[in-house]
Structure 1
Amino acid sequence: MKVLVIGATGYIGSAVAAAFARSGHEVATLSRRRRLGERHGDAGGRTGGERGRWIVEGDLEDPPSLVAAARGFDRVVHAGPPLGERADLAAVDALLAAGSPLIHTTGAAVLGGGTADEDSAADPHPIVAWRAEAERRVLDAGGQVVRPGMVYGEGGGLVAGLLAAKAAERGAGVYIGEPGVRWPVVHVADLAALYLLVALHAAPGTVWHGMSETVRLDEVAAALGGGRAVSWPLAEARTELGGLADLFTRDQDVSSDRTRHVLGWSPTRPSLLAYLRDGG
């Protein structure tokens, strides 16, 4: 397949692009400008890349450029960064207008608290409230939606960034609010494998869950803090993190059973706690 990966320089997108390339697919990546020394491409804005990769000129905040960039691909994978309601919805509309089958990334935050599965109605956290509408537009157009849990592994994500930094700063792992809050999580390599399965086997207009397990955030904090974890009061965390702090208090146990059964997705990387115990 010819696959355009949006966000290929980011944490999830880079792993997705690598997974498609390893499987023999032709991978293009989106860039706002042509890099020095690269030859001009065709009329669609494609330029030559390294090692069989292609760079396509386009900007997530410039919808007409996205329409031109995304035309003619067998799949477009949108794993780019969130930019806010107006920009994100306009980008989705532009990618759908291009006519190439779209795989769009949202996340567990689009679901409510408690138990949920692939059939659960969206109940998004206010910090990403518009993602439910983005999902609806993608699904109505026959695209697919991937909802990852909190992504870890290979030195990236909130675990290696925010949570590890707070543990180092305070001399103990930190969790926000009360203990016992659960979150779904997934290793970035397992998540990348899921995108490939969705591209190859998923029916149009379907939702898939990239959550390999559910963990307690206070246990994650303890693993990061050498066995010691303390609560970061919500009001205090809000002053630094804004609305993201409230997201850390939303208890979720999200199933990926249908994704595993239908697509044969079988995560193989270490669990998050094992990963942290081994020095991840």
Structure 2
Amino acid sequence: MNVLIIGASGYIGSAVAAALAKAGHRMSALRADVPGDLRDPSSLESAAKGFDLVVHAGPPLGEEADLAGVDALLASGAPLLHTTGAAVLGGGLTDEDSEPDPHPLVSWRAEAERRVLAAGGRVIRPGLVYGNAGGLVHDLLAPKSAERGAGVYIGEPGVRWPVVHVEDLAALYVAVAERAAPGTVWHGMSETVRLDALAGVLGDGRTASWPVEEAAAELGRLADLFTRDQQVSSEKTRRILGWRPAHTSMLGHLLSEGW
């Protein structure tokens, strides 16, 4: 396929572009190869026309820009594979068929999903992405742990999050691009990890709670998201697409890297 990647220079997008290219598809990157700007919807429609697939793995820009961008990409007529995330789901146990209950941080993403699915596009919801020296673990939690002299978790202990290694997530994009039916949702989660256990690894056994109010002063609404306990199943994704994550222990992976 001729594939346009939005966010090809980013953490997730670069891994996805590499995986799709390895699988034999022809990659073009927005801005680097094809003129276009996420803040200019008309440029997105023009950029996407003629491609066999558009993969949107770009950064969230806010409700107005994100929804206008989705509409423009859909108007191009090219099939869209859109990225949202576990934050579009509520707390507790959920799966691919659960109704969205998005955190206020990304409240509009449920509507973005609805528009993509109604037009026959496909949606991938990753968990917390880690590995290859990127993501929230590397860019936020590890530096904060070093600053405080202990691994930090926000609020109360015991909060669980779904996680996935970036290379396993990239493999899922290939599977969805090649085999998934139109109008479907897929989950990129390899396991569920307690955030205080993650803090224990990052802090070499020392942990400390970062009070929500204090964290919010620095992180805004992201702080409250870290208090949402989630168990998100990817069983349907694995069963139908045959997706088999190679990295099944985030904590073990971090320990092997010397954290």
Q: TM-score, normalised by structure 1?
A: 0.91
CA distance in 1, matches of 2:257, 2:122: 35
CA distance in 2, matches of 1:206, 1:25: 21
Give 1:183 deviation, angstroms.
0.1
Alignment of structure 1 residues 121-270 onto 2, 5 Å? 121-270=99-248
Amino acid across the alignment from 1:131: R
Conservation of the 8 A alpha-carbon contact between 2:191 and 2:248: no
CA distance in 1, matches of 2:153, 2:174: 33
- Output one character per residue of 1:157-207: Cα deviation in whole Å (capped at 9) or x when no partner: 000110000111011100000000000000000000000000100000000
CA distance in 2, matches of 1:22, 1:204: 23
CA distance in 1, matches of 2:139, 2:202: 11
CA distance in 2, matches of 1:271, 1:17: 24
- Output one character per residue of 1:136-155: Cα deviation in whole Å (capped at 9) or x when no partner: 00000000000000000000
Aligned match for 2:61, one of 57, 68, 83:
83
Question: Alpha carbons of 1:270 and 1:118: their partners in 2 closer, same or farther (altered >3 Å)?
Answer: closer
Q: Specify every segment of 5 or more residues in structure 2 that has no aligned partner in the other structure, as ranges.
A: none
Give aligned-pair identity as a percent.
72
Amino acid across the alignment from 2:5: V
- Output one character per residue of 1:216-244: Cα deviation in whole Å (capped at 9) or x when no partner: 00000000000111100111111111100
The number of aligned residues is: 258
Who is 1:48 aligned against? none
CA distance in 2, matches of 1:135, 1:270: 27
CA distance in 2, matches of 1:164, 1:235: 20
Partner SS state of residue 245, structure 2:
coil
Who is 1:99 aligned against? 77
CA distance in 2, matches of 1:214, 1:112: 15
CA distance in 1, matches of 2:157, 2:82: 32
Give 1:270 deviation, angstroms.
4.9
Kindly indicate whether residue 2 of structure 2 is the aligned counterpart of residue 2 of structure 1.
yes
Partner SS state of residue 137, structure 2:
helix
CA distance in 1, matches of 2:52, 2:240: 22
RMSD, matched Cα: 0.8
* Structure with greater Cα Rg: 1
Who is 1:38 aligned against? none
Amino acid across the alignment from 2:113: E
Who is 1:21 aligned against? 21
